[in-house]
Amino acid sequence: MMPATASRDRRCLYVVPLAALVAVMPLVLRGCSCGHDFDFHLLNWMEAARQFSHGTLHPQWAFSPAFNAGEPRFVFYPPLSWYLGAALGLLLTHLPAVTEAQGWTAAPIAFTWIALTASGFAMVRLAHAFAGANAALLAAVLYLANPYMLFTAYERTAYGELLAAAWIPLLLLAILREKITVSGIALPVALLWLSNIPAAIIGTYALALLAAIRIATSLGGGWREHPASEMREIRRGPSLQLALKTIAGFALGLALAAFYIVPAAYERRYVQIAMATIADMRIDRNFLFLHTGTSPDDVLHDQVLHAASLIAVLQLALSTAALVLVFLQRKRRALAPTSPTLPLAILTATVAFLLTPISAAIWNHAPEAEFVQFPWRLLLVVAPIFALTLPAASSRWVGRKTFAVQPLIAILLATVLTLPAYRLFRQPCDPADTVPARLALFESNAGTDPTDEYTPVTADNDALKPNDPPYWLADSPAASAPATALRGPAPMHLSVTSPRAQALILNLRDYPAWQITLNGALASHSVQRPDGLIAIAIPAGSSTLDIGYAQSFDHTLGDAITLFAFPLFLFTCRLRRQASDVS
């Protein structure tokens, strides 16, 4: 006979993906939700897929934004989401009897299903450790279909953050489990930084807070109960070991993601990164239930903020109530003493405080906190607490008596959570915003809008013209483009013939990574145009130009750190397995 635990684990293998399918079924039947970030991500995926198909496996520059003048978007936006989205687009568009438009329409839905499934499986691991095998399945479904998750999937279509939600339970497990390991912390830290910057910042601060709580509580034996014979060993110096392992794991996680982090951190001096935190993207305009104004933009902003605020209050209230119930059951010995009620309660209370305006001083002074943009993004760490503690608090009925019907309960729960979320959060698509329309725009060579925070510091988006040709000759480097039907990005190789010395203006934004050779010699392009395009002085006669995106020192350094960190990570994983075998 199959052991009960193995049977429960096997049920998760099919129930979790099925529950995630229930959560995306409205999208399958009714089409994509054109949420806030839908266009940004979809065009990223198309751009990356095009470069993949041309042999550029790790693109840095996006050519179609800024009306084909381009921007270094892939240097700064974490790679996991656009890698996955581009791969799905390429795969689905090459299926037999599937048109390109159909394949790209399916890609965001498939992405959402994968992210929700991964989140469910990650929650299974966390729940197994702290809520028991019986509660793991329901905890997974509660997490993958919780209101904030579906708000992110439907209303915001923030695909990077949606993918990052899969790694938060692994981070909590790594810092809350009885034996902290370097590799256990390093993996979710790396995955967070490679998925979404706001989620990574939130995860970093959550890790630091929970580590501090563990260090403080370890001096008194921790939140777990131990026999008196073990107390002297526990008090002998666990705080130093906890601190060292946490720091080492965090550093190793950053090193694994260094191929992205180092260039993004170094090169942000070359772009207008501060534009990411202006206007409605500032912390002080996004505390719970604030009203920011009466203009159409303010009204729309406040509607989204109001929805996020209601979700926050609901999940904080339910999490708090469940934590109280878990604490009372522990007091009555109805639960095992391994449940980390205290650190989860402190984390929940901290999040509740940070969602209010009285926490503004912390947001203003905490390093990089401004890039979280919306305080309610902290629900990323409340959602797994909500999903973990609710089944644990109901452990008396989530047990053997419900074993046979738990898959049915799980699917019913996913349905109950999905239907109102779809009705409340799904965003309709205007004709110009549909996937076929965006695909047609992308393939038309008309270019797409610039992203303010990725615009080079030497460029002004207001001065950029949307109909510039790939290049043109003029007597002045400041000259506007001639009227022409030809539009597109600058070619990487070109030959021109000029009757006299002139300026060659490229529909390519100036950026330090570009290296341009003119007739075999490095060309100077120091003239700055208001629109940020490159202007090069060329002599009379025939000229040949070659344009390349150079591998700069910061990219080389980041790659080297990651290449060194990966075998070190494998070594720590091996040590972890050996320690488990010994124990």
Report whether 251 contacts 568 (CB < 8 A): no
Rounded distance between C-alpha atoms, residue 378 and residue 385, angstroms: 12
- Pick left, alpha or beta for residue 441 (phi over 0 → left; psi -120 to 50 → alpha; otherwise beta): alpha
Per-position DSSP letters for 161-222, written without gaps between them = HHHHTTTHHHHHHHHHSSS--HHHHHHHHHHHHTT-HHHHHHHHHHHHHHHHHHHHHHTTT-
Q: Is 324 exposed, middle or buried (0-12, 13-18, 19+ CB in 10 A)?
A: middle
280 Cβ contact list (under 8 Å, min separation 6): 286, 292, 297, 298, 301
Domain spans of the chain? 4-31+78-426+560-582, 469-550
Q: Which amino acid does the sequence have at 160?
A: G
Q: Which amino acid does the sequence have at 493?
A: H
Query: Residues in the chain, how many?
Result: 583
According to the model, what pLDDT value does residue 229 have? 40
Rounded distance between C-alpha atoms, residue 375 and residue 380, angstroms: 10
According to the model, what pLDDT value does residue 6 have? 55
The tens place of each residue's pLDDT in the chain, 583 residues long, gives 444 555 556 888 999 999 999 999 999 999 999 999 999 999 999 999 999 999 999 999 999 999 999 999 999 999 999 999 999 999 999 999 999 999 999 999 999 999 999 999 999 999 999 887 778 999 999 999 999 999 999 999 999 999 999 999 999 999 999 889 999 999 999 999 999 999 999 999 999 999 999 998 876 555 554 444 433 444 445 788 899 999 999 999 999 999 999 999 999 999 999 999 998 899 999 999 999 999 999 999 999 999 999 999 999 999 999 999 888 877 666 555 467 899 999 999 999 999 999 999 999 999 999 999 999 999 999 999 999 998 877 765 555 556 678 899 999 999 999 999 999 999 999 999 999 999 999 999 899 999 999 999 999 999 999 999 999 999 999 999 998 878 899 999 999 999 999 999 999 999 999 999 999 999 987 778 999 999 999 999 999 999 999 999 999 999 999 999 999 999 999 988 876 766 5
Report whether 327 contacts 394 (CB < 8 A): no
**Around Cβ 21, how many Cβ atoms within 10 Å?**
15
- Residue 22: which of 158, 165, 144, 155 has the closest Cα? 144
Backbone angles phi, psi at 549, to 5 degrees: -95, 110
Q: Give bridge partners of residue 549 from the DSSP assignment.
A: 514
Q: What is the pTM of this model?
A: 0.94
According to the model, what pLDDT value does residue 234 have? 42
Q: Give bridge partners of residue 546 from the DSSP assignment.
A: 493, 517
Rounded distance between C-alpha atoms, residue 380 and residue 374, angstroms: 12
